[in-house]
Amino acid sequence: MNAAFMRAIPVLKVLKQEGHEAYFVGGSVRDSLLKREVGDVDIATSATPEQIINMFPKTVDIGKEHGTIIVVTEEESYEVTTFRSESTYSDNRRPDSVTFIKSLKEDLRRRDFTINAMAMTETGSIIDYFQGKEHLKQKKIHTVGNADERFSEDALRMLRAARFSSQLKFTISLKTVEAMKANAKRLAAISVERKTVEFEKLLKGVNIVYALNILYETNLLSYLPRVSGKVMQLTQIGEKLEQTSLNERSELWTAVVKSCGIENIELFLQEWKLPKKVIHSVMKNVRIWNILNNSSWDTFKVYEAGITTALEVERIRSVIEGTQPQYEIVKSLYEQLPIRSKQDLAINGTDLIHMYGKKPGKWVSDILNKLEEKVLEGTIINTPSTIKEWVLQCKMKQEKNY
């Protein structure tokens, strides 16, 4: 049994000692059967949230009314959820209205896909009422039971189907795809934040082109912000992303906006409700990429970008344009830079104010900008004496002109 489950066994044991049923469920069971890395281990139990809270010394109530309590152990924390049915979801993962029940089978029956609807006991036996194992073998995504019902409980599940197909390199069963087509418009009611999470996971997968085509065929693409007419461009990046691992959010979104030729990038990213930090970093990448403008790196471009952004842009550009990344060139240009920012200049604003004997003002930054340019060009060497000499000459020239 996977080490992540071994660490969680004591939690199952406590629940069982108190006379309740308890199992590992969901994505961790699926991933361990696929021999993929196991992420969060989730537990389902017949114990009620109150009972769970009373059984463990440290718990966090993150949604008692939805049946989920976090049990904190010395090593990790686990989501422990009471068996439930009749779920409708509107937030990220937790259903709005639930009925607590005593049957594992009923709990598994209301889950999205057969591959996600298996449970595992503490001895490693798999409980599989809905052919999950068989579907893992066939690499097929099927909803549990009636697909229309599953998608009307939570329309995000349609995007989840596409995202799992991309992550796991699975195909989606015909019936499920038909139901995705029939229910596509339900996606309009889902929050953008939830869609973004799924779309990013899809883009980080290995079967991206297939998944994007499913979104197009089922018309789900129309319910994602501003990409409905971009299926060709998206599949072109999809092909490239499948060969590489652009995994960082800002890298992925830079690839998307550059390849889709998005005009108002900030607005586009805001519509996807991305955090300000990601938007800022994508905008910076795009600005530097545009400065490169299909020519190669030079001292000024590397200076303007800064080494981190330069390397990131080079990485994304090499993926999208199918070129070899020029890391060595970028690094050696950076190493040869006489200064790496204005702060590296051998004199600063205070020195200038002393030399000129004038009040601080815009003139200080004007001179520093000029100096920065000259030092980068190599026309002035960055030592206090050469810079002071240049400044004094400028001062004299100015005084002459007055």
Ligand X SMILES: Nc1ccn([C@@H]2O[C@H](COP(=O)(O)OP(=O)(O)OP(=O)(O)O)[C@@H](O)[C@H]2O)c(=O)n1
Please identify, using beta-carbon distances, which residue of 140 and 157 lies nearer to ligand X: 157
Query: Would you give the binding string for ligand X spanning residues 247-286, x where CB under 6 A is met?
Result: ----------------------------------------
**How far from 338 is each of 304, 344, 364, 365, CA to CA, in Å?**
13, 9, 21, 19
Question: Nearest approach, Cβ of 267 to ligand X (angstroms)?
Answer: 29
Q: Is 156 in the site for ligand X (CB under 6 A)?
A: yes
CA distance 357 to 218: 71
Region near ligand X per CB under 6 A, out of 112-120, 171-179, 221-229, 348-356: 112-120
Alpha-carbon distance of 81 to 46, in angstroms, equals: 9
Residue 90 or 171 with smaller CB distance to ligand X: 90
Q: How many CB atoms sit inside 10 A of residue 56's CB?
A: 17
Q: Does 66 bind ligand X (CB under 6 A)?
A: no
| Residue count, binding to ligand X (CB under 6 A) | 13
Q: How far apart are CA 354 and CA 342, in angstroms?
A: 18
Query: Any contact of residue 27 with ligand X (CB under 6 A)?
Result: yes
Give the shortest CB-30-to-ligand X separation in angstroms.
Answer: 6
Residue 250 in contact with residue 282, Cβ under 8 Å? yes
109 marked among binding-site residues = no
Instruction: Give the nearer residue to ligand X in terms of CB position, either 89 or 216.
Output: 89
Judge whether 315 is annotated as a binding position: no
37 or 263: CB nearest ligand X:
37
Nearest to 113 by CA among 37, 171, 35: 171
Q: CB of 38 within 8 A of CB of 31?
A: yes
Using only C-alpha atoms, the chain has a radius of gyration, in whole angstroms, of: 29
Residue 43 as a binder of ligand X (CB under 6 A): the answer is no
111 in a labelled binding site: yes
Q: Is 112 annotated as a binding residue?
A: no
Is 26 a binding residue for ligand X by CB under 6 A? The answer is yes
> What minimum distance in Å lies between the beta carbon of 166 and ligand X?
11
User: What does the angle CA 94 – CA 95 – CA 99 come to, to the nearest 5 degrees?
Assistant: 125
Pick the closer one to ligand X by CB: 41 or 371.
41
111 scored as a contact of ligand X (CB under 6 A): yes
- The contacts of residue 209 (CB under 8 Å, 6+ apart) are 235, 238, 239, 242
Shortest Å, Cβ 24 to ligand X: 11
- Is 153 or 351 the residue whose CB approaches ligand X more closely? 153
Residue type, 153: E
Which one of 112, 128, 200, 251 is in contact with ligand X (CB under 6 A)?
112
Residue whose C-beta lies closest to ligand X? 27
Element (H, E) at 298: none
Answer yes or no whether residue 157 interacts with ligand X by CB under 6 A. Answer: yes
What are the distances in angstroms from CA 295 to CA 47, 289, 298, 323? 64, 10, 9, 12
**Residue 190 or 214 having the CB closest to ligand X:** 190
Tell me: does residue 84 bind ligand X (CB under 6 A): no
Residue 116 interacts with ligand X (CB under 6 A): yes or no: yes
Distance CA 253, CA 246 (A): 10
Pairing of strands 68-72, 77-82: antiparallel
Q: Per the annotation, does 84 bind a ligand?
A: no
Q: What angle do CA 259, 260, 261 make, to 5 degrees?
A: 90
* Known binding-site positions for ATP: 27, 30, 111, 154, 157, 160, 163
The footprint of ligand X (CB under 6 A) covers: 26-27, 39, 42, 89, 93, 111-112, 116-117, 154, 156-157
